[in-house]
Amino acid sequence: MAWLSERRKRTRFEAVILPHLDAAYALARWLSRNDADAADVAQEACLRAFRYFDTYRGGDAKSWLLRIVRRTCYSWLERNRPAEIVSLESWPEIRQELEASGDTETKLQNRSDLRRLDSLIEALPAPLREVIVMRELLELDYRTIAEVANLPIGTVMSRLHRARSALRQAWDDKDIDQ
């Protein structure tokens, strides 16, 4: 009976996928940079995941869900805030801005103010922000990040490196002597 199998599907989905809701929300939150939007995205992603659940063939449920969250989030941003979709081609200018916002004087001033580091992460373009968030905050390994972001591992590594260099430049670069 369809009703029964739908019910079974839901029970299984809740047991296998929903335990990763926190990670899903965190990724959506870092990508959308806003609580309400993150909730919308996470909800929409879970619903999509539920619809595609028949295509889930075991394996790492977390990366399976995050992949959907990420896609949902980008299409959500395209629909609602297209201006925020920044490709890495305009990266040089962004990097300059980022560095300007972190000149040495403010660096020293803000060294104790760790909240500034969050805003620097938020200022990264999404392709760099997502890898640093997945690596440092969701603590995913390269292979999983590559899977979630649908990128070759080499690209994950180079983006991670660029993200870190940018953060260090803007934040603590000249500050090694402390």
Partner 1 sequence: MKCDEARPLLDAYLDDELPAAGRAALHDHIEGCVECGPEAGALERLRNDIRRSAPVYRAPGFLRSQIRSTLRREARGASAMARAPSWLAYAASILLAVAVGSGGTWLMTGERQESSIGDELIDNHLRSLLADHLTDVASSDKHTVKPWFAGRTDVAPPGVDLAAQGFPLVGGRLDLIQGKPVPALVYRAGKHVINLFVLPAQPNALGETASRRGYTLRHWSKGDLGYWAVSDASPDEFSKFERAFRAAAGG
Residue numbers 24-83 binding partner 1 by CB under 8 A: 24-26, 29-30, 35, 38-40, 42-44, 46-47, 50-51, 76, 79-80
Helical segments of 17-152, H only: 21-32, 35-51, 61-80, 91-100, 104-110, 115-123, 126-132, 142-149
Q: Confirm or reject binding of residue 174 to partner 1 (CB under 8 A).
A: no
Whole-number Å distance between alpha carbons of 32 and 38: 6
Q: Any idea which residue has 């430049």 for tokens? A: 169
* Chain CA centroid to CA 167, Å: 16
173's CB contacts (< 8 A; 6+ apart) are 107
Q: Confirm or reject binding of residue 12 to partner 1 (CB under 8 A).
A: no
Q: Any idea which residue has 């801005």 for tokens? A: 97
Nearer to partner 1, 90 or 161 (CB): 161
* Contact call for residues 21 and 29 (beta carbons, < 8 A): no
Nearer to partner 1, 19 or 90 (CB): 19
Among 52, 85, 152, 161, binds partner 1 (CB under 8 A): 161
Nearer to partner 1, 90 or 118 (CB): 118
Q: Which stretch binds partner 1 (CB under 8 A): 55-63, 65-73, 85-93, 113-121?
A: 113-121
* Contact call for residues 72 and 52 (beta carbons, < 8 A): no
Please report, as ranges, the residues that interact with partner 1 according to CB under 8 A. 1-3, 5-7, 9-10, 13-14, 18, 21-22, 24-26, 29-30, 35, 38-40, 42-44, 46-47, 50-51, 76, 79-80, 114-115, 117-118, 121, 132, 135-137, 141-142, 157, 160-161, 164, 167-168, 171-172, 176
